[in-house]
Chains A and B, each alone.
Chain A
Amino acid sequence: MPQVLRSPGLGRGGVYTLLGIAFSFGLSVLTRWLYHYDDVIDGDSVTRIAMLAAPLFFLVGLGAFSYWFYWASGKPTLPEDHSAHGAKSWKDYFRINTDHKVIGIQYTVHSFVFLFIGGLMAMLMRAELAAPGRQFVDANTFNGLFSVHASLLIFLFIIPVFAGLANFVIPLMIGAPDMAFPRLNALSFWMLPCAGVLMLASFFAPGGSFASGWTAYAPLSTSAPLGQDMFTIGVQFAGASSIATALNFLVTIITMRAPGMSFFRMPLLVWANFSTSLLVVIATPFIAASQFFVLLDRALHFRFFDASLGGDVLMYQHVFWFYSHPAVYIMMLPGFGIVSEVLAARARKPIFGYRMMAFSLLAIVALGFTVWAHHMFVSGMQTWIRVPMMVTTAIIAVPTGIKIFSWLATLWRGVIHLDTPMLFALGFLTMFTLGGISGVILAMIPIDIHVSDTYFIVAHIHYVLFGGSLFTIFAGVYYWFPKMTGRMYDEKLGRAHFWMTFIFFNLTFAPMHLIGVQGMPRRVADYSEQFAGWNLMISISSWVLGLATLIFLYNMVASWRGGPRASSNPWRSLTIEWQVSSPPPVFNFDSLPTVVGGPYEYGVPGAVHAVFKDSETPAVVATAGATPAGGGDH
């Protein structure tokens, strides 16, 4: 056997995947033979087991478990010589790597691949919806497209891309040499491609891809063809990845802060990811449970959701939303953190009301668990629960409002640098406000009864997740691009990307509010003639919106390869990640920083956030009012 198939890596991962499939085949045949089935070979049964087993075999082959296997079997563990740290060539991104900066980039790039795939699916759907009647795809493919689109963008883009950015930035920000559990960190990342490949592969399953929406409501999901299992099991891998990463963040943030970094000296991005991680560890097991219920119903004929045999259909929705509502905050709070960083640094002012910003995050975490049934106002659940859920839902507008107003107050009287990260942050402020407003409107039960399951919901979710989350993701990627790559992106292209995205985002999603209220249900491959005009306009806008992402792609690729070298601190930020070189040294710090003040003391004469023992002068001195700072600008 050639070396490449014997040593840990993608090659051996492939071989082990085949072994996993063989194992699944054997297990299935053996079990069916023992139970006296007539046909001992059953494709569905083998495939289902393989969906669970093959990814695990792949991870073993890849080497994700090597260290623990050595340790558990009593063999001498590989001495940690740190040879696996850092990335010297692009190939180093395609193997197990325990360096949080490499993992951060793996996560981010991997997530963007799925943004492009999911985005293409959206454009295909818009092609189908450009006119009433059938255009390009049949109803089953269409249902598959919106189901996979949503699942990929939620589980393989928004949630992991935030984890990726945080992976890169947070250890640097809190002055830690790495994450608390580097090997777990690597494992968390490598579970994601397993989930992604499963979900994409569902298009090749007999009967088509899973087509019951990302919500996978039973009993539609429990009676769907094989492709459904690829969602059910894919979510398990994505969810396990999320939980492991969240635990990693919690332990890292709680135990590995630099000396002097008290909780109230942490940058708000760290607070945001701390809050998000709390949400993830509490909520994500619920979606895992809901999907295991479905899997057991499908594979082993349990009767959780079969009403004719005593099952309870509504229970699925309760368990599902107990995760999936907090998931909305999992997909938004890290963005709040990014916006706080960008606004403070690019408006050159301390975050207004820092403590309230931190507390409002925690308030959202707590309240986020009390509102799940607002997704179920028309589900037929007991009616009395609706009013308390309406009240808690509406109350979330208060801590969210505190955040919006505090950001506005941060802008006021600042020195505003209107570059790409700032443009996206401001775009977020306005667009997320709209998403928040439609959220309050949706909380009002009588309105929700009419508009739930319509395009109004589609509009709302995209204002929150695109105008909200994705805008903050773009802001964050542009902002930390120089730190991650050591290169500067092209500012002109960045601005063009912003304006094109901002304009066509609105042209695409704003009209959906209207057609929703007028009566167009969501998740339909066809619609009545009266909505034709708006839908054509939406489709055309959505394609231009898709094209805008190509500007971003070109900018990122070209700048990473040949952009001008970035200085260590192009934004003159005070937070610690900017006080080290771009890209940072392999172990982050040559000497550990000591935190001596708040993270956003812009305008305070001589203020610094952290000092390094060896350096005599801190890298950046913030200065007040009219006196120019001592340098550091590129």
Chain B
Amino acid sequence: MERGKRTVTEMAVVGVIASAIGIAAALLINWFPASASKQAGPIDQLWDVLLIVSVPVFVLVTVIVLYSVKLFRVRPGQELMDGPPVHGNTRLEVIWTTIPALIIASLVVYAYLVLHDIEKAPAAANAEMHVKVTGRQFTWYFEYEDTKVAGKPIRSAQLYVPEGKSVKFDVVSEDVLHDFWVPNWRMKIDAVPGITTHYRVTPDKVGSYPVVCAELCGLGHAFMRQTANVLPQAEFDAWLTKQQQAAQKAATS
């Protein structure tokens, strides 16, 4: 019995050390592409929490498997022996039902709060910009619904958005399913024929980021890439004005 207790203590120590190393390693890995939206923060943080919870679970299972093999592997002379006829232990079974349930429950609540946070609309409705995103085999185009010339929204082949302002994307498809994804923003949604889907992000870092189609859409799926350009507000306004003038010129000529 004394020896058994010592073994369990040893396993616990090994488990804690392995978990600590595992968590440290998992957190040091550079998992995500550079964050470029307000939404990315809470998502990346949720990821870290999930890693911290996951590593000990895996370590627990692995340590028990390895120690079982080490301690109870058949020794010479034991070839025809059996283990003790233990059929169960209600207390243990209650423990390993309840604890995972509690962990799961708290993760679910936390994930719900993050979801609520990242999908929240800005307090003032006019603080938000609308961009219509259209997918078709095998390209995207973007329309600025708030800026119309002759009743038509400004249209662009590349995506330009201002820094620091909430943007609501209305996503549609002209043919098959596509998926509008900017990995640096962390958000994605399918473009579905027949309906309009939405998500919002607040880009918070100036730069150019890939727009990726994430839903298999046929031959050119792998090459359905464009660029999302996040500009400082002033530069964005200048870009928009230029587009407006070009559109006006096209409309009048």
Contacts and interface: CB of A to CB of B under 8 A. Distances in A.
A296 interface: no
Interface in B6-60: 29, 31-33, 42-43, 46-47, 50, 54, 57-58
Nearest to B191: A380
A601 B88 CA distance: 12
A205 B130 CA distance: 45
Contacts of B191: 380
Interface in A217-245: 217, 219-220, 223
Given A217-B177, A441-B54, A380 B189 contact: yes
Contacts of B197: 380
Interface residues of B, number: 80
B111 A390 contact: yes
A437 B80 contact: no
Given A378-B188, A413-B86, A307 B193 contact: yes
Contacts of A622: 82
B104 A313 contact: no
A430 B65 contact: yes
A619 interface: no
A446 B31 contact: no
Contacts of B42: 446
B78 A415 contact: yes
A528 B221 CA distance: 13
Nearest to A393: B108
B97 A402 contact: yes
Interface string A55-94: 0000000000000000000000000000000000000000
A445 B83 contact: no
A378 B186 CA distance: 12
A130 to B, nearest CB: 15
Given A411-B64, A418-B73, A450-B43, A528 B216 contact: no
A525 to B, nearest CB: 5
B216 A348 contact: no
B222 A524 contact: yes
Contacts of B250: none
B176 interface: yes
A604 B84 CA distance: 8
Contacts of B176: 217, 219-220, 223
Interface residues of A, number: 96
A430 B189 contact: no
Interface stretch (A475-483, A514-522, A586-594): A514-522
B121 interface: no
Nearest to B79: A633
Contact of A453 (B29, B89, B179): B179
B93 A402 contact: yes
Contact of A412 (B68, B115, B213): B68
Interface in A367-395: 378-380, 383, 386-387, 390-391, 394-395
B188 A414 contact: no
A580 interface: no
Contact of A444 (B111, B177, B184, B186): B111
Given A378-B188, A517-B31, A429 B88 contact: no
Interface in B71-125: 72-74, 78-89, 92-93, 96-97, 100-101, 104, 107-108, 111-112, 114-115, 118-119
B58 A437 contact: yes
A257 to B, nearest CB: 22
Nearest to A632: B80
A313 B32 contact: no
Interface string A288-316: 00000000000000000001100111100
B217 interface: yes
B58 A313 contact: no
Contact of B188 (A311, A453, A525): A453
B150 interface: no
Contacts of B87: 350, 352-354
B183 interface: yes
Given A446-B43, A514-B29, A514-B31, A378 B54 contact: no
Nearest to A607: B85
Nearest to A146: B216
A311 B194 CA distance: 8
Contacts of A514: 29, 31
B114 A446 contact: yes
Interface in A618-634: 622-629, 633
A542 interface: no
A430 B46 contact: no
Contact of B93 (A213, A356, A517): A356
B251 interface: no
B85 A624 contact: yes
Contacts of B32: 450, 517-518
A418 to B, nearest CB: 6
A220 B173 CA distance: 12
A192 B62 CA distance: 38
B187 to A, nearest CB: 6
A491 B143 CA distance: 65
Contact of B189 (A217, A378, A445, A525): A378
A391 B108 contact: yes
A143 B82 contact: no
Contacts of B154: none
Contacts of A391: 108
Q: Which 10 A-B pairs have the closest CB atoms?
A: A307-B194, A519-B183, A380-B197, A524-B222, A603-B85, A603-B82, A349-B83, A414-B83, A307-B193, A453-B214
Given A348-B83, A353-B87, 20 more contacts: A219-B175, A314-B195, A348-B81, A378-B188, A386-B115, A391-B108, A398-B100, A398-B101, A415-B83, A416-B69, A416-B72, A429-B61, A433-B61, A434-B58, A444-B111, A447-B43, A450-B186, A526-B222, A603-B82, A623-B82
Interface of B: 29, 31-33, 42-43, 46-47, 50, 54, 57-58, 61-62, 64-65, 68-69, 72-74, 78-89, 92-93, 96-97, 100-101, 104, 107-108, 111-112, 114-115, 118-119, 171, 175-177, 179, 181, 183-184, 186-195, 197, 210, 212-223
23 contacts: A139-B219, A220-B177, A313-B177, A313-B194, A347-B68, A350-B85, A378-B179, A380-B189, A386-B115, A395-B104, A414-B72, A440-B104, A444-B50, A444-B107, A449-B188, A452-B214, A517-B31, A572-B80, A603-B82, A623-B82, A624-B82, A627-B81, A633-B79
